[in-house]
């Protein structure tokens, strides 16, 4: 066994929905990916319609899907989410769909894929089993989403012009508008969601370990 293989751990989906055979594993993985996509799509509709970036439950769902499914299935779930939205299914926040270039939030949607890959990778290394590890995992995933979303928003607001980011939104600078509309209003919520995830996911793992101990 290689060192990298030895460091791999089960994620929650491997425990909650185990597959008994190789043939069944493909079907199980596909079902989990679709379920993850559906969860994110539903969470996207739980929204307070701010503009240019709405406040939704979506980020919480994205990062939980990544942690629960692991890097490959999590990435696939968020990749599928992007695809169905682009193809016209109203899966994006506030029931939107279509080209990402028409959305000020397109970068965040791309960031969901990268964030799911990162938090899934950390979950494979058991970062989600302790409170501090899960907190850091969630914060890291959120940072990745902003890393993709903010530059996209900056360009979008720049293309819309000062009539939007200065006159309508009330910011003196474009960077101020980007951070003020795309990150600062959400930081407190991100912190609260990180705390919730740090409490919830390790608790689920404790339940899993308790059930395993009873079976033995």
In a domain, 121, yes or no: yes
Q: What is the pLDDT of residues 121-162, one digit of tens each?
A: 999 999 999 999 999 999 999 999 999 999 999 999 999 999
Name the residue range of residue 119's domain.
10-210
In a domain, 34, yes or no: yes
Other beta carbons within 10 angstroms of residue 125's beta carbon come to 13
Q: What is the pLDDT of residues 13-42, one digit of tens each?
A: 998 887 766 778 888 999 999 999 999 999
| Contact yes or no for 177/157 (Cβ under 8 A) | yes
In a domain, 83, yes or no: yes
In a domain, 133, yes or no: yes
Q: Chain-centre distance of CA 23, in angstroms?
A: 29
| Contact yes or no for 19/25 (Cβ under 8 A) | yes
3 state SS of 48 = strand
Q: What's the number of domains the chain is made of?
A: 1
In a domain, 2, yes or no: no
Q: Report the CATH number at residue 138.
A: 1.10.1760.20
């Amino acid at each position: 066994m290689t060192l990298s293989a030895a460091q791999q751990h089960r994620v929650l989906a491997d425990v909650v929905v185990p597959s008994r055979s190789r043939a069944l594993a493909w079907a199980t993985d596909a079902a989990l990916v679709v379920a993850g996509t559906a969860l994110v799509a539903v969470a996207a509709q739980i929204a307070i319609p701010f503009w240019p970036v709405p406040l939704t439950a979506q980020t919480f769902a994205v990062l939980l899907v990544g942690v629960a499914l692991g890097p490959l299935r999590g990435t696939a779930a968020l990749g599928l989410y992007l695809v169905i939205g682009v193809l016209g299914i109203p899966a994006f926040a506030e029931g939107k769909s279509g080209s990402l270039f028409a959305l000020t939030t397109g970068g965040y949607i791309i960031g969901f894929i990268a964030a799911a890959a990162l938090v899934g990778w950390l979950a494979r290394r058991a970062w989600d089993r302790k409170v501090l590890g899960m907190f850091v995992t969630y914060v890291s995933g959120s940072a990745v989403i902003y890393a993709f979303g903010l530059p996209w928003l900056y360009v979008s607001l720049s293309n819309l012009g000062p009539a939007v980011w200065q006159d309508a939104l009330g910011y003196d600078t474009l960077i101020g508008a980007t951070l003020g509309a795309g990150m600062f209003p959400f930081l407190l919520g991100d912190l609260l969601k990180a705390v919730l995830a740090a409490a919830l996911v390790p608790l689920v793992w404790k339940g899993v370990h308790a059930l395993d101990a009873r079976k033995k």
